[in-house]
Structure 1
Amino acid sequence: MLRPGLILAAIVMILDQATKWWIVETVMRPEGVAETPFFSPVRIEVLPVFDLVMAWNRGVSFGIFNTDGPWNALVLSVLSLVISGGLVLWLHKAETRLVGYALGAIIGGALGNVVDRIRWGAVADFLDVHVAGWHWPAFNLADSAITVGAVLLVLDALFPRRDLGKN
């Protein structure tokens, strides 16, 4: 399951970076703003419950540890790389496609966010889901892949299959 999981990780990372490039460099860059991507927020309504926004997360999930500390990006990047390395070892031993793809999604999402931290010092979040004035924290494709992968791992643990999921 190593090869399919790593292929999925690469696809997730590439799609994540492509969507972030499109949002940061094209959709959210106001006229006349040059180099820095840290500009005032823009909100584009797509659906009554879904907007595109520009949010920079210097922390982890849901903005935890979202500070502008000098070591934040480095520490979180190293931590993500170490965790991704452990997930690659797990992927190497994965016995089912479901687990292989789940791990691949998590690895690709984590590495996509590491690229942001290295490039900008923060993760570019731009998807905003909201209902009746309540907003879910802004997120991106990498975050979605990590979440879907984690949910699949939990489901696999809760509802193991007998030999059906192998190869």
Structure 2
Amino acid sequence: MSEKALTLKQSGVRWLWLAILIFIADIGIKFLVMENMGYGWANRIEILPFFNLLYVHNYGAAFSFLSDQAGWQRWLFTGIAFVVSGVLTYWMSKLPATEKWNNSAYAMIIGGAVGNVFDRIVHGFVVDYLDFYWGNYHWPAFNLADAAICIGAAMIILDGFRKKENTGA
């Protein structure tokens, strides 16, 4: 039994506009932060009683995972991001463009991954600038790319709980 191949226009690849939008917004915000803020916690800007803007470098992955290593992690995380982005783009090519939930989730992950890869390649670190906290406990600083990746991943997990239509197959 063979399935009819989707054309580029019919496939979820059309949703890559969202990845491009996230990438551009992420890089733009990071540029503004780097150009207009002093580095480090001492230069944070208090916005709300639970939220600061700041400028810090992350040499690792999420929550500074492996940030204390000698630099090899930069290329490991870059490679992982390229592989994941490639796989998700392939999956998008197999989904119809009308499958908005999964295509947007995949695009969010791709946009965030490429935004952080850009930082790793150009700067050797990822720029983080969002600091949420409660009392003296600060969640690890993150950025728009990280948020897009987390939201996209949560959407994929939630999709596993959504009721699927029975196609009769």
TM class by smaller structure: 0.7 to 0.9
Deviation at 1:48, TM superposition (A): 0.6
Of 20, 23, 34, 2:30 maps to 20
Paired residues of 2:13 and 2:89 also in contact (CA < 8 A): no
In the alignment, is the contact (CA less than 8 A) between 2:13 and 2:92 conserved in 1?
no
Counterparts of 1:91-110 in structure 2, within 5 Å, are 91-95=92-96, 96-110=99-113
Task: Give structure 1 stretches of 5+ with no counterpart.
Answer: 30-38
> Structure 1: how far apart are the matches of 2:110 and 2:59?
19
Output the amino acid matched with 2:16. Answer: L
Query: For 1:70 and 1:133, how far apart are their aligned partners in 2?
Result: 30
Residue in structure 2 matched with residue 10 of structure 1 by the alignment: 20
Within the candidate set 130, 133, 138, 1:135 is matched to 138
Distance 2:113 2:141 in 1: 16
TM superposition shift of 1:158: 1.0
Misfit runs of 4+, over 2 Å: 1-5, 160-163
Q: Any gaps of 5 or more consecutive residues in structure 2?
A: 1-10
The residue that corresponds to 2:5 in the other structure is none
Separation (CA, whole Å) in 1 of partners of 2:47 and 2:69: 30
Deviations, residues 20-55 of structure 1 (Å, cap 9, x unaligned): 0011112x14xxxxxxxxx44421101110001112
Structure 2 Cα separation of the partners of residues 137 and 4 of structure 1: 34
Q: Contact 2:40/2:54 (CA < 8 Å) preserved in 1?
A: no
Does residue 113 (structure 1) correspond to residue 123 (structure 2)? The answer is no
Question: Cα distance, 1:134 vs. partner?
Answer: 1.1
Residues 60-98 of structure 1, C-alpha deviations (whole Å, 9 max, x = no match): 111111125232222221221111111111121235210
Q: Equivalences for 1:29-40 in 2 at 5 Å?
A: 29=38, 39-40=39-40
Question: What is the alpha-carbon root mean square deviation over aligned residues?
Answer: 1.6
- SS, match of residue 158 in structure 1: coil
